[in-house]
Amino acid sequence: MISSKRKLYLTFAVFGCIFAALIICGILPLFTKVRDNSRDLVRQKTALNLFQAQLSSLADFQKKYPLYQEYLTKIKNSFVDPTAPINFMEFLEAQAEKAGLRIKISALSSSQTSPGFWLSTQLEISLAGSLKNCLRFLEELQHSPWLVEIFELSIGRLHESVFGREESKSLTPNDMYCAVSLKVFSGEDSAK
């Protein structure tokens, strides 16, 4: 027979093993779950704070929208309508007439430089007149309300092949020929 002292040690050992098994199988996963839930809670609080900040920013923008309206309208009007750029063409003709220049406008192409950027129309403008007036025209074009990028400019002596014999008759021998290649942005993204 086993002595009572050994029975007692054996009982403690069995209960110790059972207690250790309960800790490993029951309490440890519980603590792991608590730790994971705490991490999720922190992530959710961070996301909530970010959302509240964005909501606050949106509400602030909505309150200040009337202040921004004038600028947003100016920005919207700085793009040329790609289907009918009549206003821009009339502006070019008016500026050329104001500067005392002959003008010839031809469209080269419409394109999008890269995804996410604005569509643009490329134009070739031929001008004939004094160099001073050509430079004044370019300055007015630069200060115009439209988004324009001049990517090529060439200036040279005027010859009849540019405007034709009839139109060239009214020009003087000192007049220059100015060819301007430019992009006019339409502001419409093709991804829409």
CA distance 164 to 183: 26
Question: Which parts of the chain sit beneath pLDDT 50?
Answer: 190-192
Query: Which sequence spans correspond to the domains of the chain?
Result: 1-77, 86-185
For residue 159, the model assigns a pLDDT of 64
For residue 40, the model assigns a pLDDT of 95
For residue 50, the model assigns a pLDDT of 95
State the pTM of this model.
Answer: 0.57
CATH code of 86-185, in short, is 3.30.70.60
Structure tokens, 160: 């009849």
For residue 54, the model assigns a pLDDT of 95
Chain CA centroid to CA 29, Å: 50
Q: What is the pLDDT of residues 13-67, one digit of tens each?
A: 988 888 888 778 877 788 888 899 999 999 999 999 999 999 999 999 899 888 8
CA distance 77 to 165: 38
For residue 190, the model assigns a pLDDT of 46
